[in-house]
Structure 1
Amino acid sequence: MSESKNLRDGFDSAIPQSTEDVEHALQGGLLSLDANVLLNFYRYTPTARTALSAVFQAAGDRVWVSHQAAREFWRNRFKTIDDRDHAVSQLRSALDKNARASQAAIDGWAKQTAVSDDVRQRVEKAISDGYRVASGLLESEAEEDGTVAYDAARDDVLLALEDLLRSRVGPALAPDDRAAAVHEGNRRAEAGIPPGFRDADKAESGGEDGAAGDYLVWLQSMDEAVRRDLPLVIVTGDEKEDWWWKHRSVHLGPRSELVAEFAQRSDRGLFMLRPRQLIDFASALSVEVPSGAASDVERADAVSSWTREAVDELLARLEWEGKEQAEIIRFAATNGGSIEREKIYELCGYDEDRMLRGFSRPVSRITKDLQKEGMAPVNLPPMLEPRFGGGVIALRYVIPPEVVGLLEGDDSDSDD
């Protein structure tokens, strides 16, 4: 007769991470930082940077960056600086533009109402003072952030990261090993094997890594954790479902497939943490962090929301290009935010043998254009996102909840 076991035995991947798990991970695991954690240092407030730096210093040489994550950091550093600088300049421009528009409106109001000079001057002063205070706060915050520049010798954020990560970046794979890993990463993305299957469209983009970027981070992180015989802790701001086990938008831990894959190589545990959790559980490393640091990190990591103006412009450009995705987005908005695969084929008139691979690519391309033009916020959730059933086939597509609200009652797609 086989030996009886406890209810939890053999079901580790079905049990969400607990507070004790997170504390254990911080105290003894290899903290493998994804590229987005490093890039978000450009978005964090000085308070948040100081708090995260204190946690990294307390963890010592267990803080580690895979060579692939470092590659992605350097590859995206300029764009991240551009996005940051653009947001600041856009606000400066908006304040100046609105100040001038307000003055013009006051002039028109005064002429049409014959308001007294005293009242007019009081209104002008109140509005002028408001814009002056706002501009002063903006410039003060920008000055406190320090120097951010392309020039690596002058970039305060980069200099701080280099100091924190000295001798903590993994080596590159040998050329043949890297080629094999890229091939395997693209194969896994095509087959719907995590992590990275959500990047399957990148396989056709012509980029150096194709869809293999996440897999390379995963492979190198596993190798380092096994080499050191440590639990593996992936620290990432990425919230995609090819990394996380999520239920109703609650992050419960790593996907069961990742837990099983790491268990084949090590008897140590696998954990996943978001940057905010490094702050929330800093006391596990005897680190005291300033109040407000956690919310600062969370705001920087948070995904922006779509605006009505951005949604309308996206739909208009899709329609101008003759893309059927505009109709799909509108239908999803009337259907609780999702559309089934079969309905897409029906609405678009596709043949049964047609694949939906790359279906959301025009939407992603136009979204990026809108962000470059300052017409849409950065860090937006995907407008049209596939949902998979464990394989490579997208069973349905979803749109962000706020877009459902924005388009609710929109009859622009109704018959005339």
Structure 2
Amino acid sequence: MGDEESPFVRRYGAWLAGPYALDDAGRKDYFTSAIVVLDTNVLFNLYEFTALARAQVATALEKVAPRLWMPHQVGLEFVSGRHRVINARIKALTEASATVNKKFGEARSAIAAAKRHVQNMLTRYGNDPDALTELDELLGDAAVSAAQQEWADALLTRISALKNDQDIMPSSVDGADPVIDLVAHLYGDRIGAQPSDEVARIRTEHALTHRFPNHIPPGFADSNKPTPMASAGDYLLWEEILDHVRTLPDPRRVLLVSADTKDDWYQPPEHGRRERPWPLLVNEMQRSAGASLRIETPQDFFEGISRFLDVEIAVATTEEIARAAVQPVPELEEPAADERNLIHEANASAVEPPPRLLSAACYGARLSTQAIRSTRSKPPHWPFWWWLIDATAELGLREAETEEPLIDLAAAHLGELPPAPYWEPGSLLQQGEWPYRTSSWIAPWMFHVISRTPEADRVTLLRIAARQLDATSAPQKPDGYIERHSDERKDK
């Protein structure tokens, strides 16, 4: 590069080379003596790891814990947004079984459609009754269900084992949270003071009126966030780091770890020059705080800890770190009210029905025995109770409350194929209790309840399910329909 001590090189060194041309010895200095600042996304990633991987990551972070420092902005973003990360993880695990069942239902429908297509071709062009019969035997509903059952069981068993292995639970939002415990332990009191309201206002205005319009990093890509302070979050973080570093003894080094590689942190590649953290940031750190700066992704950071600080990190953990780093953090905006309150197949077993609605549904349905009421506190039966809450209101058996959640649950289905592999055929129900003798399917949670319910309540529940099915299905009744249920309860 020439004379590296010349004023020109010193002035523009961040653009000419910067710390990213360092050899291992120069990079090692950052891991052994720099303050380490973890961006909020790195802390969020702790929720994405398995318990074993998180333990290895914790061991690695212990090696730099005395030099970890948390800006107030990072801590605020972390405690304000952690529930979204937890809920996104729980939602994915909760909905996994329903997604598998849905996909198998779609596969059954596709197989049936393919069979009908070939049979139509054989009828139209082949006149081969034997082939039609053979296809019915080979690809009938029972044969397809049997073939799929083993595969579905294998997938659902693995999902169940995965859920049982979790240490991040819905209760982690407001209760015991291993990640909070880990973060508190690692940082101790090394947390930045909260800037005054006036300082935050001045910095926010400076970001929005000067830096962002001129694309001065960091954070200019966030200008479309909901509020000015949310847009200025990265810049507020940056200013806190500068303030803190100015108080440190020489030599001053900063190792910033972030999974954010957008254009407001990294300069895009151009004309043979590779992508790199913005030289403007390196220059500003040196000019404003008299410190050298290195920015690394979580993958590179933990690789560096392993190499320079002699920490063993398993290959599987390294892969988890890489996967978590590319996962988008859930949007800051809360879901719409209707979406928050919707009860459906995927979440009905995880949301306990309110006791007042349970009592109103029992009264509206005129359930007569305690046998069925005893299931109200058991999560596997909650989908049934949510359905009954919805059905009794929909059919006018009780007055709906103004703040009731929206419910999208079906206890029964009409059609040639079930909505999911585990739905039971209506033909298993007793003659006279259920009007749809063929082409009907009963939700597994509904079938489980009514198969264990005394006759009086069982008949009542099936009549409610049949009335609701009548109200939501086409007027054309399938073959085998017997008009036995009545609207005798409308005058409740």
User: Shift of residue 110 of structure 1?
Assistant: 7.7
1:262 maps onto 2:285 in alignment: yes
**Which sections of structure 1, spanning at least 5 residues, go unmatched?**
305-363, 374-416
1:148 maps onto 2:165 in alignment: no
Do 1:67 and 1:169's aligned partners in 2 also have CA atoms closer than 8 Å?
Answer: yes
Taking structure 1 as reference, are residues 365 and 57 closer, same or farther at Cα in structure 2, changes over 3 Å only?
A: closer
Equivalents in 2 of 1:46, 1:127: separation in Å? 33
Equivalents in 2 of 1:147, 1:52: separation in Å? 16
Alignment of structure 1 residues 391-402 onto 2, 5 Å: none
Equivalents in 1 of 2:156, 2:183: separation in Å? 29
Alignment of structure 1 residues 182-197 onto 2, 5 Å: 182-187=204-209, 188-197=211-220
Taking structure 1 as reference, are residues 124 and 274 closer, same or farther at Cα in structure 2, changes over 3 Å only?
A: same
Do 1:44 and 1:296's aligned partners in 2 also have CA atoms closer than 8 Å?
Answer: yes
- Look up the match of 2:323: 299
Among candidates 224, 234, 237, match of residue 244 of structure 2 = 224
What secondary structure is seen at the aligned counterpart in 2 of 1:227?
coil
Taking structure 1 as reference, are residues 105 and 247 closer, same or farther at Cα in structure 2, changes over 3 Å only?
A: closer
1:27 maps onto 2:32 in alignment: yes
Do 1:234 and 1:271's aligned partners in 2 also have CA atoms closer than 8 Å?
Answer: yes
Do 1:37 and 1:237's aligned partners in 2 also have CA atoms closer than 8 Å?
Answer: yes
Among candidates 187, 199, 204, match of residue 222 of structure 2 = 199
Do 1:51 and 1:279's aligned partners in 2 also have CA atoms closer than 8 Å?
Answer: no
Give per-residue Cα distances to partners, 1:85-106, cap 9 Å, x unaligned: 2322333221011233444556
Q: Which moved more, 1:124-133 or 1:189-198?
A: 124-133
What secondary structure is seen at the aligned counterpart in 1 of 2:37?
strand
User: Shift of residue 52 of structure 1?
Assistant: 2.3
What secondary structure is seen at the aligned counterpart in 2 of 1:264?
helix
Do 2:255 and 2:296's aligned partners in 1 also have CA atoms closer than 8 Å?
Answer: yes
Taking structure 1 as reference, are residues 263 and 96 closer, same or farther at Cα in structure 2, changes over 3 Å only?
A: same
- Look up the match of 1:396: none
- Look up the match of 2:154: 133
| Counterpart amino acid of residue 181 in structure 2 | L
User: Shift of residue 139 of structure 1?
Assistant: 2.6
Among candidates 63, 83, 86, match of residue 88 of structure 2 = 83
Taking structure 1 as reference, are residues 27 and 114 closer, same or farther at Cα in structure 2, changes over 3 Å only?
A: farther
Equivalents in 2 of 1:109, 1:293: separation in Å? 44
Taking structure 1 as reference, are residues 237 and 24 closer, same or farther at Cα in structure 2, changes over 3 Å only?
A: same
- Look up the match of 1:242: 264
Give per-residue Cα distances to partners, 1:260-292, cap 9 Å, x unaligned: 111113443101011111221222112111122
Equivalents in 2 of 1:110, 1:212: separation in Å? 58
CA RMSD of aligned residues (A): 3.4
User: Shift of residue 32 of structure 1?
Assistant: 0.8
Alignment of structure 1 residues 364-383 onto 2, 5 Å: none
Give per-residue Cα distances to partners, 1:133-162, cap 9 Å, x unaligned: 222222322332313335342223333333
Do 2:266 and 2:277's aligned partners in 1 also have CA atoms closer than 8 Å?
Answer: yes
Do 2:39 and 2:74's aligned partners in 1 also have CA atoms closer than 8 Å?
Answer: yes
Give per-residue Cα distances to partners, 1:44-82, cap 9 Å, x unaligned: 333432232122111022112210011111222222223
Equivalents in 1 of 2:319, 2:297: separation in Å? 13
Do 1:40 and 1:300's aligned partners in 2 also have CA atoms closer than 8 Å?
Answer: yes
**Which sections of structure 2, spanning at least 5 residues, go unmatched?**
120-131, 341-492
Among candidates 308, 311, 316, match of residue 284 of structure 1 = 308
Equivalents in 1 of 2:301, 2:273: separation in Å? 17
TM-score scaled by structure 1?
0.64
Do 1:254 and 1:270's aligned partners in 2 also have CA atoms closer than 8 Å?
Answer: no
Equivalents in 1 of 2:47, 2:165: separation in Å? 13
- Look up the match of 1:383: none
1:272 maps onto 2:277 in alignment: no
Do 1:244 and 1:254's aligned partners in 2 also have CA atoms closer than 8 Å?
Answer: yes
Percent sequence identity is 20
Larger Rg: 2
| Counterpart amino acid of residue 315 in structure 2 | S
Equivalents in 1 of 2:273, 2:310: separation in Å? 27
Equivalents in 1 of 2:167, 2:299: separation in Å? 23
Taking structure 1 as reference, are residues 89 and 19 closer, same or farther at Cα in structure 2, changes over 3 Å only?
A: farther
User: Shift of residue 254 of structure 1?
Assistant: 2.6
Taking structure 1 as reference, are residues 213 and 219 closer, same or farther at Cα in structure 2, changes over 3 Å only?
A: same
Do 2:47 and 2:168's aligned partners in 1 also have CA atoms closer than 8 Å?
Answer: no
What secondary structure is seen at the aligned counterpart in 2 of 1:265?
helix
Equivalents in 2 of 1:245, 1:266: separation in Å? 22
Alignment of structure 1 residues 355-366 onto 2, 5 Å: none
Number of matched residues?
A: 306
Do 2:39 and 2:256's aligned partners in 1 also have CA atoms closer than 8 Å?
Answer: yes
Equivalents in 1 of 2:289, 2:223: separation in Å? 28
Equivalents in 1 of 2:110, 2:36: separation in Å? 56
- Look up the match of 1:36: 41
TM-score scaled by structure 2?
0.55
Taking structure 1 as reference, are residues 145 and 250 closer, same or farther at Cα in structure 2, changes over 3 Å only?
A: farther
Taking structure 1 as reference, are residues 125 and 18 closer, same or farther at Cα in structure 2, changes over 3 Å only?
A: farther
Alignment of structure 1 residues 152-171 onto 2, 5 Å: 152-171=174-193
Give per-residue Cα distances to partners, 1:1-46, cap 9 Å, x unaligned: xx95569943244323445244322222111111111112222333
| Counterpart amino acid of residue 60 in structure 1 | A
- Look up the match of 1:114: 133
